[in-house]
Amino acid sequence: MIDGFLALYIFILAAFTGHEIISRVPVILHTPLMSGSNFVHGIVLVGAMVALAHADSTLGKVIGFIGVALGAGNAAGGYVVTERMLDMFKSSKGK
């Protein structure tokens, strides 16, 4: 069980980590990075899967189904788009 102060620690430390890792990004990578972090929150898929697995009522299953489909769309679309953008970054020396 993640609760109380332990949960608070995870929230705060993760927030600091997010702040730290992005604070030295060149503007050139802002769009791909926004797209990449957009992909990362596609992990919501996992939460939606667990929710759907535990749904009993029809309404619960419908909502769970929507959640999983949307989460999967976030992850898959986010990945493809980010990968395509980053694929194009080449150095003039490295060709």
Partner 1 sequence: MNLDTATLLPNIAKASYLIAAVLFILGIKRMASPVTARKGIVQAGIGMVLATLATFAITGGHNIGLIIGAIALGVIPTWLWGKKVAMTDMPQMVALFNGMGGGSAAAIGAGEMIKASQGGVALSKTALVLAVVGALIGAISMSGSIIAWAKLDGRMDKRFTFPGQQYFNLLVFIATVALGAMLVMKLDTTIIVAFFILALLVGILMTLPIGGADMPVVISLYNAFTGLAVAFEGYVMQIEALIIAGMVVGAAGMLLTQLMAKAMNRPISGVLFSNFGGGGQSSADIKGSMKPIEASDAASLLYMADKVVIVPGYGMAVAQAQHKIWELCKQLRERGKEIKFAIHPVAGRMPGHMNVLLAEAGVPYDLIVDMDEINPEFATTDVAIVIGANDVVNPVAKTDKSSPIYGMPILDVANARQVIVIKRGKGAGFAGIENALFYQENCKMLYADGQAAAASLSTELKQIDGGGGH
| Interface of this chain with partner 1, residues 29 to 88, rule: CB under 8 A | 29-57, 59-61, 63-88
As measured in angstroms, the least distance from the Cβ of 62 to partner 1 is 9
Is residue 39 within 8 A of residue 71, CB to CB? The reply is no
Whose CA is closest to 21, among 4, 43, 36, 2? 36
Q: How far is the CB of 7 from partner 1 (least distance, A)?
A: 6
Separation CA 8–CA 48 (nearest Å):
22
Interface with partner 1, residue 26, by CB under 8 A = yes
Using CB under 8 A as the binding rule, whether residue 19 contacts partner 1 is answered as yes
